[in-house]
Chains A and B, each alone.
Chain A
Amino acid sequence: MSIPKLQTGIVAFDLISEGGLPMGRTTLLAGSSGSAKTLFAAQFLAMGILKFNQNGVFVTFEEQVEDIRNDLKGFGWDIDLWESEGKWTFIDASPKEEDVITIGEFDLSAFRIRLERAIAKNNAQRVVIDSIGSIFTHFPEHNIIRQEMSKVTMTLRRVKATALITTERTEEYGAISRYGVEEFLADNVMILRNVLTNERRRRTIEILKFRGSNHVKGESPFTIVPMQAVVIVPISAMKLTQQASGQRVSSGVRELDQMCGGGFFKGSIVLVSGATGAGKTLLASNFINGAKESQERCLLLAFEESREQIFRNAKGWGQDLGQLEADGLLKVVSTYPEVCSLEDHLINIQELVKEFKPDRIALDSISALTRNPSEKGFQEFVVALTNFLKHDGVTTMLTATTHMLTGGASITEGDIATITDTIILLRYVELTGEMQRSITVLKMRGSRHDASIRQILINEEGMQIGQPITGISGLLSNTPIVA
């Protein structure tokens, strides 16, 4: 029989743990310094209070109670209030100034009695001990401590508390913890990591094991957000269950709609690939302007240009985005990719979508976001983002920049091409002595499409799609040849 789980209330965690923490058991939470162990543990208690009306006991062996209270205020948790209501109880076992001298044998029965009493007093269901490593530094007699802490876990088991015990690690990929506490806390182990990759910190959580119960394997990235604390990005727990809509929406360019067999599918992901200046931003701008007729709401996420630049350029193409914004149909968010990690970008976008509820999103450009992360992080980001947007039925246009002027695939495309529904290529073609722009629909999932390569003209009315360019080959490779 599988062990029942206690929903933590930390949303994505309940997903990756397939229900929460093993109920009535103790879970070891290991992590290097600065890996957000204390925060995660505190969040476990806070969510219990806020969402399930379950009381908690927080034992601190390390940080001073006053510091913890202050640190947690930043997440909107009023510990003082909860303490006065009997929902949150501190057991202060943090180091004090006076010297402690050990002479002969001792046990930690006083601690056990205090803990049990605190649990019983407010009928607490959740217990945090932060951190077990610190108690080893208080007392040099490690054998006694190991034995005594093992008794503590037995006490917790007896009173049926669902507990988190934190412990330090010295390396991100190495022994689970110092002092070998996993010897008696081996049933349920989780690891928080804070790894430096490409000059960026990447936080992940991994459930190493939950004895007798299922969970998602491997690391899931997470980030720390003000007022929300730990937010996990549950890549590996996502399901491919999005609805596929047959409804078409306009791309904003009439001829392109025709090429796609009647427009993009609502809720689909469209990738626009092209070299710099090939018309990607213009197409994105058309895509947004195209929402005007159907009164759809649009969100433009710009990672390369400022709001002012975008508006000015659009004006040159006869599109009044400022008016759309004034009408409340458009929201433009312009940020540098470097300001935060990809996980943070993801969370921010999700927040924006929840708040603004757009029908379509243009992201210009997704290539700009590859400037900071590791390759794996980027893939995870794109998968999580598109999954989220599809789930919400948002039609999305992503633009990607190719390195070669005439063609060639970029890293971005290789990573994300398979999860997009439609791919549009914008390419320069050298044709009878001049550079021409061209457009072609490479892929259109679930629909017939026009596979010809067509000329594009950019004038004061925006993008105009002309006749098919015939008689050339090698367009997708670097060197188009007129046959």
Chain B
Amino acid sequence: MNPQGERWTTDQVLALAPDEASRKASGRLAAPGPWSETGADGSAVWGLCKGSGKKPYQAVVDFKGPAFTCSCPSFKFPCKHALGLLLLWAGDEGAVAAGEPPQWAGEWLAARRERAERSAAGPSGAAATRAPADPEAARRRAERRMQRIGAGAMELEQRLADLLQSGLATAGREGGGSQADGGGGRSWDETAARMVDAQAPGLASRVRELGSVVASGADWPARLLEECALLHLLEQGFLGIDRLPAPLAATVRARVGLTTDAADLLTGPDAAPVRDRWLVLAQQDGDDGRLTTRRIFLRGERTGRMALHLSFAGANRPLELALPTGLVIDADLAYYPGARPLRATLGERYAPATPGPVPPGCGIDAALAAYGDALRDDPWLDSWPVVLADVTPIPGRDGRGWQLADADGESALPLDPRCLGGTGVWQLAAISGGAPITVFGECGHRGFLPLTAWDPSPVSL
């Protein structure tokens, strides 16, 4: 046991893996066989892993961060050796003996700590070097970008107006025939590319979504109209952004695709970090082939506020943050500005993460009310994160969808159809066994998307 009394679970370690292959490969290295000179102290674990070459690989993991290093040539990060070492350490208390780091591990660890202390001592250092940039030039750049986005929004407005004028049915014929998007109008993908050119990635991704709605499923005209209307609302918001209250204007800006520098949120003049004990409710990785997106949901113990931390990485690149589900971190979070802040960036962490409790939750009425309430501030929200307590999964049978039923047994929340393909819902049913359980997920207009269930230890779905 290390001094913090903190030992990660296998799930937590596996959550760090960059892809499925490393997850499996590391599972095979999680045995004493290939390892030698392993050791751990309160803050790090290290070991030599026999590979195919003569010289064994030197793997070191710093729990703070966590950070990894390994002498293997793998371009994956963390590599399977680092993961295997962590699994070995996590799986069996006796497998890795306590000790002092050998030289090859100690050097790296010391360098890391030194760097950490330096940046802690002078947090303004980085900001100071950036400050001398010409503020006037920056302002002009920003203005030009606003103009380009405005032009893009106008163009898109025209595109939507044309569509509504000739009718969605025509879009259905075009989209339904083939994905070639031929015919009269410009294709959605083409329009999306125009929005990328206009430096409005938020608009671009919404337009791409429109393309996938057309002629998909029974009620596609209604869904297409919904998405077109919300896109129209966003453009109108952007075109009239000067007349919006500041928080709503920030929401519109973020939704259009204008980013805020995370460092400014923590250290800028308007920085308002929230310190709390944050429970990690879920950590989910999405992968669209080019980009891995990691979403970490947190909830503050004291404030009760939900937060969403996003990190992105190109294929096979490390994700900046790994927070296994179920841990509690005492840390600063700074929310991105908006009418309904949710996205946040992580600031200073005051203590090592510790295993957290089963979170308290609400019922189904309250969950729907929370989503409705959030929509009041941000009409573009597809869902809002909630912890449901005492809900019973009802498996879908005979064409009826899955539900989560309330403790009273009468009202229920349908599960989001997107979750039905995987094993997640079956894990939900298995954990429940027909009895009420606690589930975290996103409650939205498509239904409830479960992400974590407690059995009572957290299980990622």
* A in complex with B: no
